[in-house]
Amino acid sequence: MTASSPLLPRPPVPAEFIPADYFRVLEKSEIFLENKPLEIDLGCGDGSFLLGMAAEHADRNFLGVERLLGRVRKVGKRISRAGLTNAKVLRLESRYTIEWLFPPESVSRLHLLCPDPWPKAKHHRKRLVQQDFLEALWKVLEPGGEFLFMTDHPEYFEWASDQVARFGKLERLEWDETTFFYPKTDFQIQWEAEGKSMHRLRGRKPLKAD
């Protein structure tokens, strides 16, 4: 797709999802016409995980959210070259996307993988996993929907676990490398090559939620 969009000051990227309006809640059918379970990869980076999942699960739709245009271009080209019709990329800020764009109970799994850990105490407020994010996440997850968080950073893992415990509404589930198909992310490959290990948190919105 090369035609320009009235909403963008640049030509769209292949496989890019451009909301018709950035200031109203979307209909799920605006993202993908076919009604399949929707999975979101927040901060999708180079798209390795997104493409791996989309290729494996033709029965699900995958949307990568990424703020850096260069990465969005790369992901869009990779999706287009692979001929995947169940994957798209959205150039937008993660928190805004979850808080304002997604309809309630529309997301079956939300992945947040190797996010920036913001290690300095004065930057902790920039970490995505906070109570307001968890509230927004709760609203967009379907009953039975899951939040999957993975980091190489032990202290961010403790922080996120504590935030989820304080939030109190997500059921913690077991999750290790063997639990289900889960391609490695670009950053995960880099960190593991340096000898770091991954810490995983999996939380589910109960089927009968309040």
Ligand X SMILES: C[S@@+](CC[C@H](N)C(=O)[O-])C[C@H]1O[C@@H](n2cnc3c(N)ncnc32)[C@H](O)[C@@H]1O
- Positions annotated as catalytic residues are 116
Q: Which of residues 60, 77, 93, 139 is near ligand X by CB under 6 A?
A: 93
Nearer to ligand X, 183 or 209 (CB): 183
Nearer to ligand X, 12 or 43 (CB): 43
- Should residue 12 be labelled a site residue for ligand X when binding is judged by CB under 6 A? no
Segment contacting ligand X (CB under 6 A): 11-19, 66-74, 152-160, 175-183?
A: 66-74
- Should residue 39 be labelled a site residue for ligand X when binding is judged by CB under 6 A? no
- Should residue 66 be labelled a site residue for ligand X when binding is judged by CB under 6 A? yes
- Should residue 73 be labelled a site residue for ligand X when binding is judged by CB under 6 A? no
Nearer to ligand X, 115 or 145 (CB): 115
- Should residue 88 be labelled a site residue for ligand X when binding is judged by CB under 6 A? no
- SS3 letters for the chain? CCCCCCCCCCCCCCCECCCCCCCCCCCHHHHCCCCCCEEEEECCCCCHHHHHHHHHCCCCEEEEEECCHHHHHHHHHHHHHHCCCCEEEEECCHHHHHHHHCCCCCEEEEEEECCCCCCCHHHHHHCCCCHHHHHHHHHHEEEEEEEEEEECCHHHHHHHHHHHHHHCCCEEECCCCCCCCCCCCHHHHHHHHCCCCCEEEEEECCCCCC
* Residues in contact with ligand X by the rule CB under 6 A: 43-45, 65-68, 71, 93-94, 113-116, 185-188
